[in-house]
Structure 1
């Protein structure tokens, strides 16, 4: 048994508002599917964020259909879950169109059952848990959810109540796991802790974190390896293929290589045979993260010219200028230096100051911020677009934080009201004590419906 594990293709994205980046993302996904076919895989897993937005352009939909059809023509089923970029506030998404065309088979909680060659259903309250099947392999999963939806107020994992792993089973999730999120944008804004993941599965196919992460079963104590393939293309500067730092000397690093192995920023996907994963690299456009430090405009210009031979043509280069320069600088003064380098795209970050800023390192954050403020900063430590898509989860968390003070305040107001006399006073006091504060009703998603009906017990 052999399958491919692909994540975070983000089709439709024009990074830096550059049309050539749209083509790069499409080409990376095409390479992954074509390589999977050449490897004679039995099926393919797509663990979320096939598209960059939940309402992709007709062009992006067309490209996705064309590439997924390559697998369909060879009778290779594709099992998929929706990522945070794919899902909508409704039950339906662009995945429903792809499934209707027979290009993918989605798994997760559905309002209607699915029974066919590659899907089965289990009744869960008023909903159905739809899972994939290929031979004796069962494929479970759920679309992206916020932490407050996955973990109850009592701290219990709802995933553990929903999923029960067994031999030859796979769990697909599009969530950030705390233990594997270190060094990523999600390290302080994770969705799940490692001990909240249900055990018993032979393989854990994850998506959402764009940097490749592996946690072997012998290290985790789980029954299967946990794998994040990372995004197929480079979505931000932390995923750069090359790092150049020029202070006193030039230090150039290829982040796609580490001795004779793949480096942390190599891009690709996994081929998994008998639940043993092997990374397959995809060649993508070189992406350079360059830091240059200098204390004058002349020094910065000279150092930019010095690194020219280290940067490949037709690549992407993001240069960060640092230092202390009298009067400061404007990056527009340096753009002309790169005009004839033959780069596909380049830009500057300006971190040059006009005078030294002294910081007292002995001061701790606790001296400035309350526990609530520090937690608020952690909640907000995500990409603005990501925050916008998950605003419902943030609002729910905020309501929970303010719930207790609000109840106490309402009780205090009632106590301070004019007290009735005699028997009336006793009955009124009892009424106030027994009165409960009603919470505002909220729309329930499919997972919430299942929990509401007692499925989370």
Structure 2
């Protein structure tokens, strides 16, 4: 028996108001369509989606329609698509039907979601074709259980999850990250909390983190696999392998093979303009460094760029306007989308010496350092606590972060 394990597809993701909005929107559907083509050609027995099929829970109708169009060949090939909800798929109003539930009712996916007992335990009811709901489905002798996204305290649920499973030849779909492996700051569990899953499930199909990784027992046996996202979703993923797992199940053993996809090229680069005396000189330095660092010769698709400008310069940083920089970039690499972070600081003469105006980031770090240092119980931990403070700030700025998830971030940093 063979199946494909994918996750974190993020259909509907794009850059709003960007000139490349429409093309970027298509990237994610194109990526999923290519994987579905692979599944059909390989005649797999089923496809697993480990959550975050959509980028947001409240998608546009056109995104739903295009999702149906993309999944249609899989349905016509009679290949079941087993899915769970990730944190991006989840809608907070449970009195409304979600788009994932609608896909399940229409037969494009089989959405797995457990029920809960009065005592707080888990119950994985068999999947009901009429209601298109359930927590467990059996295909070819493999018992597939689906959990979805639990949240910040997922690790504390593992014992109850295992207690609810009494079958053999088990597979678990679980939208959760593992600390130290997952680059995501929220929705993770500790490594030691995950290990009991290996005693109950031969294959744990993870999702959530966009970077692929494999979890092993303390004895070195692999049991949990995170494929990451098949397309580059956010800046910071430019160096990650992108793909999915093609898994063969024979003689009671799961044998996964990671297969690469072809995501859009992405570059995150620091451009050092230190010492530039005027905007024209800075533009020349910018041009030279971008030409050296952003090599698109092996891919004809327009790249995604994030550029951070650093250095102390002899002109006001605002003189180096974004439009001037974008004009240079269009001529050099013609990016689909670019984000420019200006961290330049102005150096001005002051008598015989020089006085430097700090960047906003430097001011923020200095203020935090002084505040933390003023508390005697925190002395010696300044850098650690500054890093934690900034992580918390970034998590809050991203939105959709609840109190439990922030507490989990504190707990993880503290350990």
Where do 5+ consecutive residues of structure 1 fail to align?
A: 122-128, 241-254, 256-264, 399-457
Map 1:50-449 → 2, pairs under 5 A: 50-91=53-94, 92-110=97-115, 113-115=125-127, 130-148=135-153, 151=156, 157-163=159-165, 167-181=168-182, 184-186=183-185, 189-197=186-194, 198-200=197-199, 201-215=201-215, 217=216, 220-221=218-219, 224-240=222-238, 255=239, 265-274=240-249, 275-295=254-274, 296=276, 297-306=279-288, 307-308=290-291, 310-312=294-296, 314-330=302-318, 331-332=320-321, 333-341=324-332, 342-355=334-347, 356=356, 367=373, 377=389, 380=392, 383-384=395-396, 387-388=399-400, 390-391=401-402, 393=404
Show the counterpart of 1:419: none
- Structure 1 residue 108, shift from structure 2 partner: 2.4
Does the 8 A contact of 2:2 with 2:247 survive in 1?
yes
Aligned to 1:412: none
State the shift of 1:380 in Å.
3.0
SS in 2 for 1:180: coil
Contact kept, 8 Å, 1:329 with 1:352, in 2: the verdict is yes
C-alpha separation in 1, matches of 2:132 and 2:222: 23
CA RMSD of aligned residues (A): 3.6
Aligned to 1:248: none
Q: Distance in 1 between matches of 2:144 and 2:214?
A: 20
- How many angstroms apart in 2 are the aligned matches of 1:207 and 1:118? 27
Distance in 1 (alpha carbons) for counterparts of 2:374 and 2:256: 46
Whether the 8 Å contact between 1:138 and 1:170 is mirrored in structure 2 is yes
Q: 1:385 to 1:93 in 2, by over 3 A?
A: farther
Q: Is the 8 A contact 1:54 1:93 kept in 2?
A: yes
Q: Quick one: structure 1 residues 381 and 191, their matched pair in 2 at CA, closer, same or farther if it must change by over 3 Å?
A: farther
SS at match of 2:114: strand
TM-score, normalisation: structure 1:
0.68
Distance change >3 Å, CA 212–CA 379, structure 1 → 2: same
Q: Tell me, in whole angstroms, the C-alpha distance in 1 between the residues paired with 2:159 and 2:304.
A: 42
**Residues 347, 87 of structure 1: alpha-carbon distance in 2 compared, 3 angstrom cutoff:** closer
Separation in structure 1 between the aligned mates of residue 42 and residue 370 of structure 2, nearest angstrom: 54
Preserved contact between residue 247 and residue 256 of structure 2 (Cα < 8 Å)? yes
User: Is contact 1:119–1:131 with CA below 8 Å preserved after alignment?
Assistant: no
Contact 1:131 1:138 in 2 (8 A): yes
How far apart, CA to CA, are the structure 1 residues paired with 2:156 and 2:405? 14
Q: Is the 8 A contact 1:81 1:106 kept in 2?
A: yes
Alpha-carbon distance between aligned partners in 2 of 1:321 and 1:103, rounded to the nearest angstrom: 46
Aligned length: 356
Q: Which structure 2 segments of 5+ residues have no match?
A: 117-123, 348-355, 379-383, 410-415
Greater mean deviation of Cα atoms: 298-307 or 189-198: 298-307
Contact kept in structure 2, 1:292 and 1:319, CA below 8 Å: yes
Q: Larger Cα Rg: Structure 1 or Structure 2?
A: 1
Does the CA contact (< 8 Å) of 1:120 and 1:132 recur in 2? no
Counterpart CA distance in 2 for 1:160 and 1:24 is 38
Q: Do the aligned residues in 1 keep the contact of 2:272 with 2:309 (CA within 8 Å)?
A: yes
Q: Distance in 1 between matches of 2:146 and 2:397?
A: 24
Deviates more, 1:38-47 or 1:195-204: 195-204
Q: Is the 8 A contact 2:177 2:184 kept in 1?
A: no
Q: For 1:136 and 1:149, locate their aligned partners in 2 and report how far apart those are by CA, in whole Å.
A: 28
Give the whole-Å Cα distance in 2 for the aligned partners of 1:173 and 1:228: 10
Q: Is the 8 A contact 2:172 2:204 kept in 1?
A: yes
How far apart are 1:21 and its partner, in Å? 1.0
| 3-state DSSP of counterpart to 1:272 | strand
Using the alignment, how far apart are the partners of 1:115 and 1:318 within structure 2? 44
Q: Distance in 1 between matches of 2:153 and 2:147?
A: 15
Question: 1:19 is matched with which residue?
Answer: 22
Counterpart Cα distance in 2 of 1:107 and 1:173? 10
- Cα distance in 1 between the residues matched to 2:390 and 2:218: 26
2:4–2:46 CA contact under 8 A, matched in 1: yes
